[in-house]
A and B are shown apart, each in its own frame.
Chain A
């Protein structure tokens, strides 16, 4: 049971890219380290971060990503292999910085007690079933997340 004055962080994670998967996990794991509660609502492409096949294969966009790890004109960002190259560079950066890979980071975050909300609308729209997701997710819609977020001290869309 958490103390009544425990602070709470509520995040919406909407991105399904490798670079987009880190910020919500970093914020939520930090919040719990500070003694807070934390919950993340994974919606639309963000749901891929909870998908047990896809979360190992998240990519960095090479097209329309001017800050990406491989600096290319957009026309070249579209050539086959450019996304794979950008992803490879980002993975190497993360490894060299000793940052956990996404599946490991998910485990770490879940072990800390962060609540994972899997957006039920996204599941319906994109044909994702409960068995596709990692264990320990709460399948929920916007009302359940807002109910959680209503008493949060910090709410962010990342």
Chain B
């Protein structure tokens, strides 16, 4: 995984306070409008996100570049994959 400080974030999406399915839904909406290679930084507090966001990346074909957990807040950096 690259150092977080080396990642160029295209857009940040704050999903703090939201529960499943909203973080995944909102992330998918943003990812759909980004271009391949763009990076979404997703900020979550739903503990389910630790499993849900990697699953989102796997299913959509995006890359989870890095994760960072501090207290109840998790950050995920997702690089959009090529259009299928």
Contact = CB atoms under 8 A, between A and B. Distances in A.
Please say whether chains A and B are actual partners in one complex. Answer: yes
Residue of A3, A5, A32, A33 ringed by the most chain B CB atoms within 10 A? A33
Contact of B59 (A29, A36, A98, A99): A36
Interface in A105-149: 108, 112
A29 B56 contact: no
A34 B60 contact: yes
Interface in B1-58: 17-22, 24-25, 27-29, 55-56
B27 A33 contact: yes
Interface string A28-65: 01101111100000000000000000000000000000
Given A3-B84, A33-B27, A34-B28, A98 B22 contact: yes
Interface string B47-84: 00000000110011100000000000000000000001
A112 B60 CA distance: 15
User: Of B28, B55, B60, B61, which is in contact with the most chain A CB atoms at under 10 Å from its CB?
Assistant: B28
Interface of A: 3, 5, 7, 26, 29-30, 32-36, 97-99, 108, 112
5 contacts: A7-B59, A29-B21, A33-B21, A33-B25, A35-B28
Closest 6 CB pairs of A and B: A33-B28, A34-B59, A30-B21, A35-B60, A33-B25, A26-B21
Interface of B: 17-22, 24-25, 27-29, 55-56, 59-61, 84
